[in-house]
Amino acid sequence: MSKRVTLGLTFLALLLSLLAAPAAAQEDVRGFFEGLPNGYNGGTGALPLTGWVLADSGVRRVVIEVNGVPVGQTVYGHFRPDVLDLFPGYPDSAGAGFTFNLNTTDFENGVHTVTAQVLTNNGTIRTIEGRYEIFFNNNTSTLRPFGEIDIPQRHADLFGTCDLVSSNRIYEPVEGWALDLGVEIGDTGIGYVELLMDGAIVANSRTGCSFNIVTGGLTDCYGLRRLDIERIFPFALNSPSAGFRFVLDVGALIAGSNVSQGFHMLTIRAGDIATNVENIAEIPVNFFCEQNETNPGSFGFIEMPRPGVIVAGDTVIQGWALDIDGINRVEVFVDGIHVGNATYGVDSRPAVANEYPGYPDAAAPVWRLTWDSTSRTDGFHEVEAVAVDDRGASTIIGERTFFTNNGID
C-alpha cells in the first residue's frame, strides 16, 4: 500500500472518530439578576442592583447592561449563604453575590431595559436570568443627598465622663458618608453635613470643622477620604472625600446640657449645593455616664478569616478589641471549643484609634491567634471571639463563619 493511501486512510479514520465523538458538554451557569430591592420599577440617582451567579469554571466578571450596552462591572464575591445552601460545590459558592450602583443620571428620563451579563473563566458569555424595565426620573428637586452612618451601630451604648472637672474625657465619634448627584451645572455635590440629636442641631461641618488631637483629629468635618465609597460610587463628585466625622462628649452633654441618660436619636442631615436638604441617616442610641455603669461591655471586630472564606493549614484568626476598663485577654473559640488566647496589642489600627479616642489600648487594639485547621474535619465552622476586660467581665465581640478544606473527612 502506498504512503499516500496510508495517510488518506489515517485521516479518514481520524475524521470519523471526531464525528462520532460526543459534543463537549455545555458549561453549567446558574444565576439570577434580582434588580431593584422590594420590586421597585423606577428610581432616581444611584440605584442599588443585586444578584448572584455561579459557573463550573468560576466567574471572571459580571457586567450590567442598559438597553444592551455595558455600563459597568459589578463588585462580585459577596457572601450569599442562601445560594451556598442551594448550590454548594461551585468554585464561587461561598461568594456568589454581586452588587452595582447604577447612575441613572447618565441617561435620559424614561423607561430603560437593565440586564446583567456574566463572563466565566473558560470564556462562556451569558445573560443572567432577570430583565427589568426601569423608569429613570431625575431632576433637581428629586436628586437629594444620600448616605449612611457607619459608626456607631443602631442601639449602641455611648459612654461619657459626666464629671465635668475630670480631664479624662471619653469621646464617641459619629462617622459615615454623604453624596449628592445632579443633572444641572452647579447642582452636584455636598454643601454641608449636620449632626442632630433628638431633632436639635449639635454640630455643622461648614461652621464647626476643626482639628483636635484629643478628639482624634478632624472633628465635626465633611470631606474625609473614603476610597471605599469611591469604588462603590465612582461617578459621584465627592466620592473620594465623602466621609464625615462628628465627635460627641456624652458626659458633657449629660452633665452640662440637661440631657438625660438613656434613649436618644442621632440624625445626619446633608444639604447639597442646590439647597436640597435631606435627613440621610438616623439611628437610635443610648447615653450613659461611665461612672454609673457597673462594668460596660467590651466591643471589637473579627477581621480574619473573612466571612465564608475557605482556609487550609495554619489559619490566622485576627481582629481588634477595646474596653473602657482595658482589655486583659481575648479568648478564641471554634465551634464552641476554646482553641487558645490571642496575643493582644500586636498591631495598631489608626482608624480604630480615631474612632475611639480616650479608650485604653486604642493605640494597639489588634489581637491575633494562629490556629491549625487540620485539627477539624473539612466543612463549615464558626469562630467566636470573647474579650475579657481588666475587671474580669467577658463579652462576645464577634462571630464569623468559614470553611476548611484540608482533605480531611
Q: How many domains does the chain have?
A: 3
Determine the pLDDT at residue 23: 42
Q: Among candidates 138, 286, 111, which has minimal Cα distance to 198?
A: 286
Do 173 and 310 have their domain in common? Answer: no
Contacts of 1 (CB under 8 A, 6+ apart): none
Radius of gyration of the chain (CA): 27
Element (DSSP H or E) covering residue 388: strand 379-389
Give the pLDDT confidence score for residue 5 in this predicted structure.
43
Per the listing, cell 477595646 goes with 322
Are 129 and 40 in a shared domain? yes
Q: Grid coordinates representing 204?
A: 455643622
Same domain for 273 and 157: yes
List the one residue out of 48, 172, 29 whose CA is nearest residue 98.
Answer: 48
Specify if 128 maps to a domain. Answer: yes
In a domain, 6, yes or no: no
Give the residue from 353, 307, 315 showing the smallest Cα distance to 332: 315
179 with 284, same domain: the answer is yes
Asked whether the beta carbons of 224 and 174 are under 8 A apart, the reply is no
Same domain for 211 and 108? Answer: no
How many angstroms separate the CA atoms of 220 and 195, rounded?
A: 8
Q: Do 213 and 242 fall into the same domain?
A: yes
Strands (E), 198-239: 200-204, 210-212, 217-219, 221-224
Backbone angles phi, psi at 174, to 5 degrees: -120, 110
**What is the reported pLDDT for 25?**
55
Sign of the torsion formed by the C-alpha atoms of 250, 254, 257 and 259: positive
Q: Do 308 and 285 belong together in one domain?
A: no
Neighbours of 245 (CB within 10 A): 25
Q: Are residues 223 and 343 in the same domain?
A: no
Could you give the 3-state DSSP secondary structure of residue 69? Answer: strand
Q: Which residues face 402 on adjacent strands?
A: 381
Answer yes or no: is 393 within a domain. Answer: yes
Q: Are residues 201 and 325 in the same domain?
A: no
CATH number where 270 lies = 2.60.40.10
The verdict on residue 158 lying in a domain is yes
Quick check: is 21 in a domain? Answer: no
Q: How many CB atoms lie within 10 A of CB 54?
A: 23
Asked, for residue 184, whether it belongs to a domain, the answer is yes
Domain co-membership, 179 together with 229: yes
**Shared-domain flag, residues 380 and 304:** yes
User: Strand, helix or coil at 281?
Assistant: strand
For residue 80, what are the domain limits?
29-136
Distances (CA, A) of 115 to 29, 80, 85, 123: 16, 20, 25, 19
Q: Report if residue 35 sits inside a domain.
A: yes
DSSP state for residue 104 in the 8-state scheme: G
Answer left, alpha or beta for residue 155, where phi above 0 means left and psi between -120 and 50 means alpha: left
Cell digits for 405? 478544606
**Both 202 and 162 in a single domain?**
yes
C-alpha cell at 296: 460596660
Q: Give the integer Cα–Cα distance in Å for 52 and 2.
A: 61
Residue 39 is predicted with a pLDDT of 55
| Residues with pLDDT less than 50, the chain | 1-12, 14-24
Give the per-residue pLDDT at 183: 74
Domain boundary among 242, 274, 292: 292
Strand pairing of 366-372 and 314-322?
antiparallel
DSSP state of 68: T
Q: In terms of Cα–Cα distance, which of 151, 70, 59, 156 is closest to 106?
A: 70
CB atoms within 10 A of CB 276: 18
pLDDT of residue 22: 45
| End-of-domain residue from the set 100, 117, 136 | 136
CA distance 233 to 301: 26
Distance CA 251, CA 47 (A): 40
Of 184, 406, 211, 391, give the one whose Cα is nearest residue 315.
406
